[in-house]
A and B are shown apart, each in its own frame.
Chain A
Amino acid sequence: MSDEFAGMANPQEPNAPLAQWFYQLLSGAQPVASSEQIPVGEDVSLLGTDYHAAFYPAIPNFARALLKQEPELMTHYAPLLFHLIGCPTCHRAYLETYDALRVALADEARPATTALRLSSSASLATTSPKLLVFLCQLLIGQARSVLRQAHREHADEDAWARSLLQQAMQLSRYIMQGALRQRALRDLVEVASLYQISSAGTPGEPGALSYSALVGAGSGARGRTLRRAEMASRPQEQASIDLRAGTLDGSVTQEGEMLILRLVDLDESLRGKFLLISIPLGTLLEPVRWLGGNPYAIRSAGLVGPDGTLITPLGRTDLRLSNPEERNLLETLFKKLDVRSLEA
């Protein structure tokens, strides 16, 4: 914050000292905001701490109210105006919005010729993966902001956050490079857990073992990227999603519509017991009909074998592991899978 009251139109203005005090009052609590935007290609969802969900989305309406000189404008938008005084990021967004909206509203008669020249072949499969990663991270970040804002206001915006996360998951299936998809969804589990805190039916205790999908691996090709053509050419029965918990391996395969979980080398303490399987992201997408109906508590169909192996069905789906995009979606669902013994 500058001590100099640089923007004052007339320093002789009688209210100038009060205005300076007011400016310092409102800007005093703001951290120094980065003037740089988040570049495409860098991880965004953990950043954006200078994004204020309570104010930023109201900026277009404020700009329009100013342009149209709406009545009660100042009283209605006073909190936003006060916020803009102290928040460089939101103030910058206001300036951009006002300018662009002014031009747009003055431009009612112009036909949208430029838009009509757009290629009709544009699709997510041909969109730059970098831009897909960027949007996925932004949507997940938005979900986090929505949930935090709702928490502050004692409101319930779970459905909204859920919709944002679902869109990120759906978009991510078009990212064929595992490493990029991993980055796109890096914060998904964490943000989904924020949303699930207020939802009923969530697991009450952490799993004894927590598996993660090895994104971009599976189908016996762990650690390397599977190309679309390569995936498509594999026989359905070979397609799999690889899981890992520390040094333990597991996999999800498909038999017809059924998804089958296979865990090996389970600890002796789990052998001869039924397991309770929890898939925290399982409620985010509809296409899987989980056994028992609750993905947070799927009871294993059999006991863990004497050699530490468990093979158990999880649920049915029309999605196919042999289809690259559908496989990506399923893989996202298994970003986290917890198991624990059903017996104390």
Chain B
Amino acid sequence: MPFSAYDLRYHVEESYPALCIYIQHRAQRYLGQLAFDAFEMDQVVGHVIEYLTRIQLLGGGERAPKTALDELSNAQFYTFLNRMVQNKAIDRLRRRRLPMSTTGELEEQGNPDEDNDPLNSVVEPFWGDVPFANPEAAALEAVSQEQLRALLKRCIETLGAAPRQLQAVLQELEDLGAGDLVKEVRADIPIDLDITTVAHLSQHKDHAHKKLRLCLQKNSTNLAVMLAIRLTEYGAESGGTDEWSVPLQTLTQKDLSLREVQTGLQHLTHAGLLNWQGEAVVHLTLAQRKLLTRFYEEE
């Protein structure tokens, strides 16, 4: 019985058996010499099942947010699963240092499926050309890209409430030679920081790092920037009153959920840039509009 991503999400009882059979079938093909090793088979099958559960597709129902996988056609979804199985099988073969099947071997087995050819994975780097292929490359990208660097700066600035922690981080950045970033932060924070007199530097640094990690991974930080831009872009002036209004639905566009919009608006309200209390339409004064423009321009 064929199954789809929709079936796995809404009808797990009916579709799980077919999913297991499909993954087992593909795993057997890709595991080559390990195909009859029950442990290795379990590793591959379990990996894909665990993945589908963790991304909240398997059994996710209506409650779990839809993902890109929900929007794949059936053919694409099977291709996706097939590739997941193939990659995991190659991973297991590599761990056991066993040779992987070549195209010739697969042809001898009379296999007509083009996608069964793991040779590409043998001659190419395992993941091919993937952006952010390792965390270090992602870190470099993050500090080089303007928008991401702006978020880092914004989070460093939130340390202004704890001047010693801010001071400890700025000193670290100075030592790294990131003087430009330090200058940008100093220009925005009107605190007289004397970097020569920080006692217990390492303790302040640890606290500061924890706060920075939280800020950087907090969804509201980046959502606030997006919402500030949209509020100024989509705001419609209400007949000569110097007041602008934007319905929440307008702010969602295609890529934000209502909840994300609300999170971003709450963040802006908390920062004193809005007076939004959960209304369906956001109202802005001229002064607030200017503040919002400054907010994202600073970004």
Contact = CB atoms under 8 A, between A and B. Distances in A.
Interface of A: 5-9, 13, 15-23, 25-29, 37-41, 44, 51, 54-61, 63-64, 66, 70, 72, 74-76, 78-79, 81-86, 88, 91, 93-105, 107-112, 114-116, 118-120, 122-124, 126-128, 130-131, 134-135, 138-139, 142, 157, 159-160, 163-164, 167, 170-171
11 contacts: A21-B173, A26-B135, A54-B219, A57-B67, A58-B67, A60-B68, A85-B135, A102-B128, A103-B83, A103-B115, A124-B13
Nearest to B135: A85
B41 to A, nearest CB: 9
A28 B87 CA distance: 29
A60 B54 CA distance: 11
A198 to B, nearest CB: 16
Nearest to A131: B20
A72 B46 contact: no
B65 A108 contact: no
Contact of A17 (B39, B148, B177): B177
A292 B128 CA distance: 62
A139 B135 CA distance: 29
Contacts of A170: 13
Given A37-B47, A114-B82, A23 B113 contact: no
A38 to B, nearest CB: 6
Contacts of B3: 115, 118
B132 A94 contact: yes
A29 B12 contact: no
Contact of A108 (B46, B75, B137, B143): B75
A61 B70 CA distance: 10
Given A63-B68, A138-B58, 12 more contacts: A18-B177, A22-B152, A39-B39, A40-B42, A78-B151, A91-B138, A98-B130, A100-B79, A100-B80, A118-B2, A131-B49, A142-B56
B76 A104 contact: yes
B241 interface: no
B266 to A, nearest CB: 11
Interface residues of B, number: 94
Contacts of A8: 136-137, 140
Contact of B68 (A16, A38, A64, A122): A64
A85 B142 contact: yes
B39 A167 contact: no
B80 A59 contact: no
Given A8-B136, A108-B76, A38 B216 contact: no
Contacts of B295: none
Interface in B75-102: 75-84, 87-88
B209 A25 contact: yes
Given A18-B176, A20-B139, A83-B217, A122 B18 contact: yes
B200 interface: no
A72 B140 CA distance: 19
Contacts of A38: 46, 50
B272 interface: no
Interface string B53-77: 1111011010111011100111111
Contacts of B2: 112, 115-116, 118
Interface in B222-262: 222, 225-226, 255-256
Interface in B20-54: 20-22, 25-26, 39, 42-43, 45-47, 49-51, 53-54
Contacts, number: 284
A38 B51 CA distance: 11
Contacts of B256: 76
B76 A19 contact: no
A69 to B, nearest CB: 10
A20 B58 CA distance: 37
Contact of A7 (B50, B87, B133): B133
A318 B225 CA distance: 56
A108 B74 CA distance: 9
Given A122-B18, A171-B16, A134 B46 contact: yes
B147 interface: yes
Contacts of A142: 53-54, 56, 59
A138 B226 CA distance: 35
B191 interface: no
B20 A23 contact: no
B16 A127 contact: yes
Most buried by B among A17, A57, A91: A57
Given A25-B209, A83-B217, A131-B49, A104 B77 contact: yes
